[in-house]
Amino acid sequence: MKKISILIPCFNEEKSLPFLYPELVKLMDGNSQYEWELMFVNDGSRDGTLEVLQQLRQKDQRVNYVDLSRNFGKENAMLAGFDYVTGNCMVIIDADLQHPPTLIPEMIKLWEQGYDDVYAKRKSRGKESWLRKRLSLEFYKILQRSSRFEVLKNVGDFRLLDRCCINALKQLRESERYTKGMYSWIGFKKKEIEFEQGDRVAGESSWSYRQLFSFAIDGITSFTTAPLRISTIIGFIVSVCAFLYMIYVFFKAVLFGDPVQGYPTLVILILFLGGIQMLSLGIIGEYIGRIYNETKNRPDYIVREFNNQRVYQPLHD
């Protein structure tokens, strides 16, 4: 019998889980030709999520949970899930029911037809402010232009991945993770299906604009070095212009003498060049910071408890 795992990263989801669990039970009972495994990853929730999971585990052995020692962020929580799931395939789903479990049978059907990565694309972005929609569209445009890998817009983590994709993703253990880019980096046979994204059933979305902004920078810097290239090109153009201007100033001074003039030119040049230098340094700094974090080589997450058992040895080595 083939085994299907469902991976659910949870951060402060005690209010959503009572809605989500019955939906998943309905799904599992309706498709009993498969063996099922629910893998909840408690990403350092500050509410009663862990207690809810422990209770579910007690009455239903299909429920598994990994309790992380603190909040590591959704990307790392998902990696913990990749390490712990045991199914022939895995469906990643949000705990807040924004990803309808009713779509999963359709994904499984496509998986049985031989697709390795069946991803769900939102038809609309649901209730979001105009500014947020705009910013995210711009972000995808920039990413698209600057990197060789296609990162699809309106496609999130809601997808079914075959065991071969899970094993591939487990090998990508960088510390600043951008999983959306990794799905396309690993390749494999992909298939798109569409869905209508609802609103959260309970609780609150944990993303602020500040987090989204840093997520965008992570996305770009972890997938492309194009910003470094751009700053090289700008530097080159500016120095060519500066060289031409230097020749002009030199001959003007030689031919016509040099009464003190050109204060505005001087100020403009200093400010302009200073600005460009700062910007380039900042870009280089972003990458150096990333190198620094990567060389520390710390684990991507730390597990406190797995299914009522305290964990002392990491699973992944």
CB of 200 to Mg ion, least distance (A): 5
Residue 236 binding result from Mg ion, ligand UDP, none, given CB thresholds of 5 to 8 Å by partner type: none
For residues 77 and 53, what is the distance between their CA atoms, to the nearest angstrom? 16
- Is the alpha carbon torsion for 271, 274, 278, 280 positive or negative? positive
Residue 43 or 94: the one with the smaller Cβ distance to Mg ion is: 94
- Is the alpha carbon torsion for 167, 169, 171, 173 positive or negative? negative
Residue 5 binding result from Mg ion, ligand UDP, none, given CB thresholds of 5 to 8 Å by partner type: none
Placement of tokens 């071969």 in the chain = 164
CB of 206 to Mg ion, least distance (A): 8
How many Cα atoms are found within 13 Å in the side-chain-facing hemisphere of 176? Answer: 21
Q: Are 101 and 27 in contact (CB under 8 A)?
A: yes
Residue 74 or 159: the one with the smaller Cβ distance to ligand UDP is: 74
Residue 182 binding result from ligand UDP, Mg ion, none, given CB thresholds of 5 to 8 Å by partner type: none
For residues 118 and 224, what is the distance between their CA atoms, to the nearest angstrom? 25
Residues that bind ligand UDP (CB under 6 A): 9-11, 13, 43, 71, 73-74, 77, 94-96, 98, 205-207
Residues that bind Mg ion (CB under 5 A): 94, 96, 98
Residue 46 or 148: the one with the smaller Cβ distance to ligand UDP is: 46
CB of 42 to Mg ion, least distance (A): 16
Maximum distance among all Cα pairs of the chain, rounded to whole angstroms: 93
CA distances from 273 to 23, 61, 113 (A): 59, 64, 58
- Is the alpha carbon torsion for 50, 207, 17, 95 positive or negative? negative
Instruction: Give helix then strand counts, H and E, for the chain.
Output: 10, 9
Residue 248 binding result from ligand UDP, Mg ion, none, given CB thresholds of 5 to 8 Å by partner type: none
Residue 74 binding result from ligand UDP, Mg ion, none, given CB thresholds of 5 to 8 Å by partner type: ligand UDP
Residue 17 or 107: the one with the smaller Cβ distance to ligand UDP is: 17
CB of 125 to Mg ion, least distance (A): 12
CB of 207 to ligand UDP, least distance (A): 5
CB of 15 to ligand UDP, least distance (A): 11
